[in-house]
Chain A
Amino acid sequence: MVGPVQKIVTVSSNHVETFKREYVDILQDSLRLSEENKRLLKQLQDKELLLNRSREALATNASLRRLLEFKNTLDQQQSVPATIVGKDPSAMYRSVIIDQGANKGITKGDPVINSDGVVGQVFAVTPNYAKVLLAIAPSSAIDVLLQKSRVRGILKGNGTLTYRLEYILKTAEVEEQDYVVTAGYGGVFPTGLQVGVVSKIIKKSRGMFHEIEVTPSVDYQKLENLLILEQPKSSEIEKMEQQ
């Protein structure tokens, strides 16, 4: 009597066991795998975020290192590192706001540079912030030299990503790819700071001067960290002139 019942129970329990192994366990596994998948995805996202942050830190580090190396090449001239915190929203002017001001010794007229060359000049100062007029601004004018021929001219901005080099006589020898550097007259900018490269010479039959377009050495699209050079005091300039 009991034997067939036992057999039925044993067979059916075997079937149930098989069903459990083939379906329920797989379902459980898939649920576990889904959880595992979610966890791994989250982990991957975290790692990607971390990687992105370290990449950003590396880029900032490289930029600051370049600026520091450049700062070390400036002999004795005091400089203050600064970061751009705001930009002029108007389409007509070209200026930026930096996070250092009069409290760090910055004064109106101080030259602003970065590792690539001349960026502009400070034109308004508050205790903690200052406004910098970029060299590409139409109201900016810098005394420069053509490095090869030593011909002097005035570099003006025109609001775009190029400069205009003015007052270079037609008799002067100018070639494309000539380097343009600061002249250093007046003691504002140190002599020989890189400004740009002559990219176009427009020859016209009229007029006394060349029309020259200069490509900036500074990438204005990627301006970030700057150095503000302290202007030598007038007494120091007089002393230098006497020497």
Chain B
Amino acid sequence: MVVVFFILAGILLVVLQTTVFMPSPVSSFSPDLHYVFVAYLALRLDLVRSLLILFPLVCVLDVLSGTVLGTYALSCFSGYFLLQQISSKLPVNELLYQIPLISLIYLAVSWALYLFLEFFAPGQQAAWAWWKMVIHMVLVAGATYPLFFLFDLLQKYSHRNFLPRNKLRLRSDNRRRRTT
């Protein structure tokens, strides 16, 4: 259930990111909500479920945008593993301490991705602009706390038993029979 709910939430975030939060095709003030989602998966969910959620999400992102296929897969998976590795070595797991880490890794992954693409497909992407990336980083940091709160709620909701086991369990007719 968690996987299904989170896949739907991820797709909804991508849709919001490509429509409502992207007023014009050259807007510099649109938050990378999908990255916050990736950060949540890295910090709050286990590996198997995260990968199950992440795979359809990167496919949707690659279909909806980008001219070089696989860019989003590279960015999301590298961000995911980097965050997971670094956060597992940190002594604190409080979200407020993790926000700077999330935004710094966002910047590092974007920079590395830009260099990678510039090396393998030069001239295919817009020139790197630090001020724009810092704005994106701040937007990611700003969106992290409320989105993590929403994702926590979603996770709690998705863990609820929609079909309680005790109602589905087959009972024997003789309820007074003692079990030895």
Give the B-binding residues of A (Cβ under 8 A).
85-97, 123, 133-134, 136-139, 158-161, 220-223
Majority-rule SS of B interface residues? loop
Q: How far is the CB of B45 from chain A (nearest CB, A)?
A: 23
Say whether B124 contacts A139, CB under 8 Å.
yes
Say whether B65 contacts A158, CB under 8 Å.
no
| Complex contacts, A221 vs chain B, CB 8 Å | 24, 26
Q: How far is the CA of A160 from the CA of B127 in the complex (A)?
A: 9
Task: Give the contact-size bracket for chain B.
Answer: 20 to 34
Say whether B26 contacts A138, CB under 8 Å.
no
Show 25 A/B contacts (Cβ-Cβ < 8 Å), sorted by A: A86-B65, A87-B25, A88-B18, A88-B25, A88-B65, A88-B66, A89-B21, A90-B65, A90-B66, A90-B72, A91-B129, A91-B132, A91-B136, A92-B126, A93-B66, A93-B67, A94-B26, A94-B126, A97-B64, A138-B125, A139-B123, A139-B125, A158-B127, A161-B26, A220-B24
Q: Which residue of A lies closest to B69 (CB)?
A: A124
Q: Which residue of B lies closest to A89 (CB)?
A: B17
Q: Which residue of A lies closest to B126 (CB)?
A: A159
Evaluate whether A139 and B67 lie within 8 angstroms (CB atoms) in the complex, with A88-B25, A91-B132, A223-B24 already known. yes
Q: Which residue of A lies closest to B35 (CB)?
A: A89
| B28 in contact (CB, < 8 A) | yes
| Complex contacts, B136 vs chain A, CB 8 Å | 91
Q: How far is the CA of A86 from the CA of B71 in the complex (A)?
A: 18
| Complex contacts, A139 vs chain B, CB 8 Å | 67, 123-125
Binary A-proximity of B94-127 (CB < 8 A = 1, otherwise 0): 0000000000000000100010010000011111
Binary A-proximity of B1-39 (CB < 8 A = 1, otherwise 0): 000000000000011011101101111101010100000
| Complex contacts, B15 vs chain A, CB 8 Å | 86
Partner pick for A86 among B18, B114, B133, CB 8 A cutoff: B18
B residues 108-161 with Cβ under 8 Å of A?
A: 110, 114, 117, 123-127, 129, 132-133, 136
Say whether B67 contacts A160, CB under 8 Å.
no
Say whether B64 contacts A92, CB under 8 Å.
no
Say whether B71 contacts A90, CB under 8 Å.
yes
| Complex contacts, B127 vs chain A, CB 8 Å | 138, 158-159
| Complex contacts, A85 vs chain B, CB 8 Å | 19
Say whether B26 contacts A160, CB under 8 Å.
yes
